[in-house]
Amino acid sequence: MKKADVVVLGGLSGITAGISCRRHYPDKKVILIRKEGTVLIPCGIPYIYGTVGGPENNVIPDGLLENNGIELIKGEAVDVDREKKVVTMKDGQEIGYEKLVFATGSVPLIPPIPGIDKENVFPVKKEFDYLSEVHSQMDEVKDLVIIGGGFIGMEFADECRKGRDINVTVVEALPHCLQMAMDNEFCDEAQAKLEETGVNILVNEKVEAILGNGKVTGVKLSGGQELKADMVILGIGAVPSTNLAKNAGLEMGFKNTIKVDRYMQTYNDPDVYACGDCAEKQSFFDGRPTGVMLASIATAEARIAGANLFSPTHQNCGAISVFSTVINGRAFGVAGLTERMATQIGARIVIGTAEAPDTHPGGMPNSCLTKVKLLFSKDTGVIMGGSISGGKPVGEMINVLSACIMHRMTADDIVKFQMGTHPALTSSPIVYPIVNAACKAIIPLKKSA
Amino acid sequence: MKKADVVVLGGLSGITAGISCRRHYPDKKVILIRKEGTVLIPCGIPYIYGTVGGPENNVIPDGLLENNGIELIKGEAVDVDREKKVVTMKDGQEIGYEKLVFATGSVPLIPPIPGIDKENVFPVKKEFDYLSEVHSQMDEVKDLVIIGGGFIGMEFADECRKGRDINVTVVEALPHCLQMAMDNEFCDEAQAKLEETGVNILVNEKVEAILGNGKVTGVKLSGGQELKADMVILGIGAVPSTNLAKNAGLEMGFKNTIKVDRYMQTYNDPDVYACGDCAEKQSFFDGRPTGVMLASIATAEARIAGANLFSPTHQNCGAISVFSTVINGRAFGVAGLTERMATQIGARIVIGTAEAPDTHPGGMPNSCLTKVKLLFSKDTGVIMGGSISGGKPVGEMINVLSACIMHRMTADDIVKFQMGTHPALTSSPIVYPIVNAACKAIIPLKKSA
C-alpha cells in the first residue's frame, strides 16, 4: 500500500496546505489527491469569459506542487478509514497517511427552482471541462440571464459582454446587488458602473421558474415578468463539499462544514485537519460561526493547518473577511464588518469617511477618486471594518485595512499611520484617505468617550 | 495685535498640523503663516518637468485651509518672542499665540563645489516661481547633468526626458544610485530601468567643479572626465530650515533639527511644538536620532503635534521610514530597514523573498512581476523591514508592510495574514508575495530558534 506522512484531499487550499506543511516539515512526504485533472484559479473563473479568453489561461500550474516536493495523485477519494488511517480511491487504490487534511472546498448551491435542470442552465462549477463547455456555448448566446447579483454574478455580467454582443440581465432577490457584502452606497455605485456597460439589473426579483422545452428559453420572475434567455448562469452561493468527511464520522459544524478548532484540527480526530470552504469558520469579531467563503480565508487557514500538522501551535484568529472586486473598471473592497453588519449585531459605531484622488496631484494620468469608509467601535475606538472603492490600488489598500483590523488598531493608531506616498502611486500624504477617515472619526469618538 | 490660539509656521506639514488641531479642538482659532504664495506638493516636484506639465498643476489648494477654518497669512515670520508669545513678520506685523508650531521644513543642501553659484545650476527649492523659471529654462537645454542619484535625482532624470530630446546624465558618488534607501538588487533594477530610457548614469563619481563663464557649460568629475552641461540640477539632500527656531532659543537636536519629545513638544517650551523636516526624528527601531526626511513622516508627525497642542497624549512611535518611487514605469518601495541598514547595526536577521505577478492569472492585462524581500529578527521573528518592486500596487503594498512593522508583527503573524485578492488587482492568494516571503523565512527562523 502506498503511504505518506501527509495526505491532502483537495484543490486550491490543498495546494497551499501541502506547501505550508513541506515548509514547516521538509522531511515529511506529502501526497495531494484531487479529482480534477486541472485546477482552476477560483476567483479567475468569471474572467475566463472575457479578459483572459478561456479556461486554459486560468490554471494553477502543477509545477507549484513539483517545486515543493509534493506528489500529485489525480483521482477521486471515495472513503476514509480513520482507524486504519487509509484513504481509498475510486479505482480501489489505498493510500495510507499519518496526518490527513480535508481541503475539499465547495460546490455551487443549486436552488430548487422548477426547470433548474434544463439544458444551458449552468451553476458555476470549478471544473475545467465543464467551464470550457460553457465557454463554447456562450458564443452562440443572445440572451443571458444571471441569477444572483453577488460577486460571481456581477463579475460574470461584466465579463460576458466583453467581445460579445449579448443581452445580459442580472436577477437579484434582495433590494441591492452585492448587499450581503457591501453597504448600500457602494452597492449603488457598483450597480451603476455595471449598468453603464449595458447590463440590465433587476432587484427585488426572484426567479420562479426556468422555462423551455429541454433547453432553456426564458425565466419567469416573481413579479410576473418573463425574460428571454438562451443561457442561465447561477451565482447564488456555494455549499461545502463534505460528504467524504461526514461519512468518515467527523463531527460536523455550522451549515454542513467540518468542525475544527483554532489549530484547524478536527474535533474528534487529532490526526485529521480541515481548511478552506469545507471547514467551519468563526468570525474574527464575535467568534460565532460564519458562512463566509473566500480564497483569502481558505489559503490563510491552509497555511495554519499545514504548519500545525505535527505540532499544533499556530492559532487561527478567525475570519476577518477581506475581499475585492472590479466592476467595469472600478474596484471595490471590504475588510471586516460593513455598517449593515455592525448595525445588525447592535454594535455602537462611529463612522469616518474620506475621499481623495489616488495620485497627487489629482491631474496625474489615470488618477481615480478613492472613497474610504471606516467603522470604529464607539466604546473602544478599535477598527471594526472598512470599505473602499477606487482604482487598482484598492486591492492593496484593503489589505492595509486587513492588517489594521488583525492588530486591532484604534482610530488614534491609524491617525498616526506612516504611509508611504508617491505622486503616481498613492493619494497625497495630506489627504491619504485611510488616515483621513480615521481623523474624521476622532471627534465623534471623543464626544462619546 | 492680531492673536490666535494656535500659530503654525510652515508649508505641507503645517497645513496638516493645522487641520489636525482644528479636528481635535474645533473651538480654537488657528493661523498658518507661510512665506510662499503657493505651496507645491513636494513629492510632485520632479513631475512638474514631465508628466504633470508645469508647477501650476502641482499645487496644494488653499481651499484645504479654508474648508478647515484655518486663517492663512502669507508673509515671512522673522522673529519669535517666546516670553511675550508673539511672532513678528517681516513687515512689522505682530501675531500673538497661545501655542506655536514650527513646521518650517527643509531647504536643499548646497555642496561647496567650485562654480556651484553659476547660472543654470539649480538646487531643488520648493518655490513656485523658482521652479517655473527652471521649467522654462529647461526647454532650451541640450545637456542636463543631475548631481545625486537619490530619489529626487532619479525621478528628475526620468521625467525631464518626457517630451524633450535632451541628454541627461546622473552623477552619483556612491557605487549605486539610491544606495542610501534600497538594497543593491533593487538599486540595480532601478538603475537599469532608468538607463533603458536613455539616461546616462555615472556612479562612483564626484563632481569636482562646475565649469563655465557665468553660465554653466559643463561639470568636471573626480575621475577626470568633463561632461557638457547647459543645466545642472542638484539633488543631494536637504537641511532643516531652523534658523528662526534657533534664534528663538529653542534647544536644537541632531543635525540642526529642533529637539522634540514623543509628543512633538519642544524640549524647553511646553507651548511650542515642531513637526516635519525641521523637527528631530528618532528611529522606530532603535530610538536613535535619524536624518530621514519623508512626507509620510512629516504628515504623521503633524497629525500628532496638532492633536497634542492642548493636551499632550498622542505619542510618536518613531520614524519607520516608508516610501515609494517610480522609475520608468516600475515602482519601488521600502518600509523600515533594508538589509544594508540591518547589517550596519549588527542585527541578526533572516530574509525571506518571493516573486509573483500582481494579477492572477499572470496573463491578465498589465500584469507586472512583483518582487518582495522581508527582513525578520532572527531572535524574535519580528519584521524589521521590507522592500518591494513591481507595478502600481507597490505603493499600497508598502503600506501593508508599514502596518505590519508598526504593530511589530512576526513572520508567523504575517504567514496568517488574511489578504483580499482579486484577479485584476492582486497576486493569487496562493503566491501572494508578502505572505510567501514570510513563509520562506519560517524555516531559517525555526532553525535559529
pLDDT tens-digit map of B273-282: 999 999 999 9
Q: Is residue B336 assigned to a domain?
A: yes
pLDDT, tens digit, 9 for 90 and up, residues B5-53: 999 999 889 999 999 999 999 999 999 999 988 889 999 999 999 999 9
Calpha distance A243→A227 (Å, rounded): 36
Q: Is residue B322 assigned to a domain?
A: no
Mean pLDDT, chain B, as a whole number? 96
Write the single-letter amino acid at B348: R
Calpha distance A274→A269 (Å, rounded): 11
- Same domain, residue pair B103 and B245: yes
- Same domain, residue pair A130 and A210: yes
Structural contact between residues B401 and B435, judged by C-beta atoms closer than 8 angstroms: no
Number of H helices, E strands in chain A: 11, 27
What pTM was estimated for this model as a whole? Answer: 0.96
- Same domain, residue pair A434 and A344: yes
Contacts of residue A372, Cβ cutoff 8 Å, sequence gap at least 6: A353, A354, A355, A386, A387, A388, A397, A433, A434, A436, A437
Please state the domain count of chain B.
3
pLDDT (average), residues B297-301: 96
Integer CA distances (angstroms), B155 to A7, A266, A421, B159, B160, in order: 52, 55, 14, 6, 8
Which of B399, B413, B447 should one mutate to test binding to chain A, selecting the residue with the greatest count of A CBs within 10 A? B399
Does the pLDDT of residue B380 top 70, yes or no?
Answer: yes
Structural contact between residues A330 and B428, judged by C-beta atoms closer than 8 angstroms: no
User: Which of B206, B236, B266 represents a domain boundary (last residue)?
Assistant: B236
Partners of B234 in the beta sheet? B123, B147
Q: Is residue A290 assigned to a domain?
A: yes
CATH number, domain at A81?
3.50.50.60
Cβ of B409 within 8 Å of Cβ of A404? The answer is no
Cβ of A395 within 8 Å of Cβ of B24? The answer is no
- Looking at residue B449, its pLDDT comes to 65
ipTM at complex level = 0.95
Q: How far is B430 from chain A (nearest CA, A)?
A: 6
Cβ of B331 within 8 Å of Cβ of A392? The answer is no
Does the pLDDT of residue B363 top 90, yes or no?
Answer: no
Which of B422, B432, B439 should one mutate to test binding to chain A, selecting the residue with the greatest count of A CBs within 10 A? B422
Q: Is residue A259 assigned to a domain?
A: yes
Cβ of B296 within 8 Å of Cβ of A443? The answer is no
For B25, the grid coordinates are 479642538
- Same domain, residue pair A224 and A253: no
In tens digits, chain A (449 residues) has pLDDT values of: 999 999 999 988 999 999 999 999 999 999 999 998 888 999 999 999 999 999 999 999 889 999 999 999 999 999 999 999 999 999 999 999 999 999 999 999 999 999 999 999 999 999 999 999 999 999 999 999 999 999 999 999 999 999 999 999 999 999 999 999 999 999 999 999 999 999 999 999 999 999 999 999 999 999 999 999 999 999 999 999 999 999 999 999 999 999 999 999 999 999 999 999 999 999 999 999 999 999 989 999 999 999 999 999 999 999 999 999 999 999 999 999 999 999 999 999 999 999 999 999 988 999 999 999 999 999 999 999 999 999 999 999 999 999 999 999 999 999 999 999 999 999 999 999 999 999 999 888 887 76
Which of A396, A407, A426, A443 should one mutate to test binding to chain B, selecting the residue with the greatest count of B CBs within 10 A? A396
- Same domain, residue pair A273 and A339: no
Neighbours of A115 (CB within 10 A): 18
Calpha distance B216→B167 (Å, rounded): 15
Q: How confident is the model at residue B208 (pLDDT cuts 50, 70, 90)?
A: very high
Burial environment of residue B82 by CB neighbours within 10 A (0 to 12, 13 to 18, 19 or more): middle
Cβ of B416 within 8 Å of Cβ of A294? The answer is no
CATH number, domain at B444?
3.30.390.30
Cβ of B420 within 8 Å of Cβ of A294? The answer is yes
DSSP tag of B410: B
Which of B419, B427, B436 should one mutate to test binding to chain A, selecting the residue with the greatest count of A CBs within 10 A? B419
Return the biggest CA–CA distance within chain B: 69
Q: How confident is the model at residue B388 (pLDDT cuts 50, 70, 90)?
A: very high
Structural contact between residues A426 and A358, judged by C-beta atoms closer than 8 angstroms: yes
Q: Return the half-sphere exposure (C-beta side, CA atoms, 13 A cut-off) of residue A26.
A: 10
- Same domain, residue pair B357 and B340: yes
- Same domain, residue pair A221 and A143: yes
Calpha distance A353→A393 (Å, rounded): 18
Q: How far is B201 from chain A (nearest CA, A)?
A: 23
Q: Return the half-sphere exposure (C-beta side, CA atoms, 13 A cut-off) of residue B73.
A: 22
- Same domain, residue pair A232 and A244: no
Using CA coordinates, name the residue in chain B closest to A326. Answer: B424
Ordered alpha helix ranges (H), A25-180:
63-67, 128-138, 151-160
Structural contact between residues B31 and B70, judged by C-beta atoms closer than 8 angstroms: yes
Structural contact between residues A355 and A371, judged by C-beta atoms closer than 8 angstroms: yes
Q: How many contacts (CB atoms, under 8 Å) link A and B?
A: 286
Q: How far is A173 from chain B (nearest CA, A)?
A: 25
- Residues from chain B contacting residue A438 (CB–CB below 8 Å): none
- Looking at residue B406, its pLDDT comes to 96
Calpha distance A433→A435 (Å, rounded): 5
SS3 B220: strand
- Same domain, residue pair B230 and B249: no
Nearest to A213 by CA among A131, A317, A150, A120: A120
Q: Is residue B319 assigned to a domain?
A: no
Structural contact between residues B241 and B279, judged by C-beta atoms closer than 8 angstroms: no
Secondary element (H or E) of residue A414 = helix A411-415
- Residues from chain A contacting residue B296 (CB–CB below 8 Å): 418-421, 429
- Residues from chain A contacting residue B432 (CB–CB below 8 Å): 299
Using CA coordinates, name the residue in chain B closest to A360. Answer: B44
Q: Is residue B50 assigned to a domain?
A: yes
Nearest to B392 by CA among B374, B365, B410, B420: B365
- Residues from chain A contacting residue B317 (CB–CB below 8 Å): 416
Burial environment of residue A37 by CB neighbours within 10 A (0 to 12, 13 to 18, 19 or more): exposed
- Same domain, residue pair A196 and A178: yes
Cβ of B295 within 8 Å of Cβ of A421? The answer is yes
Structural contact between residues B359 and B426, judged by C-beta atoms closer than 8 angstroms: yes
Edge to edge, what strands does the sheet with A322-327 contain? A322-327, A330-336, A383-390, A369-377, A349-357
- Residues from chain A contacting residue B285 (CB–CB below 8 Å): none
- Residues from chain B contacting residue A50 (CB–CB below 8 Å): none
Q: Is residue A53 assigned to a domain?
A: no
User: Which of A278, A308, A338 represents a domain boundary (last residue)?
Assistant: A308
Closest by Cβ to A322, choosing from B419, B423, B424: B419
- Looking at residue A386, its pLDDT comes to 98
- Looking at residue A114, its pLDDT comes to 97
- Same domain, residue pair A127 and A171: yes
> Residue B240 CA to chain centroid, in angstroms?
13
Q: Is residue B388 assigned to a domain?
A: yes
- Same domain, residue pair B93 and B159: no
Structural contact between residues B395 and B323, judged by C-beta atoms closer than 8 angstroms: no
pLDDT, tens digit, 9 for 90 and up, residues B174-189: 999 999 999 999 999 9
Q: Which domain holds residue A154?
A: 121-236
Calpha distance A100→B68 (Å, rounded): 60
User: Which of A236, A260, A276 represents a domain boundary (last residue)?
Assistant: A236
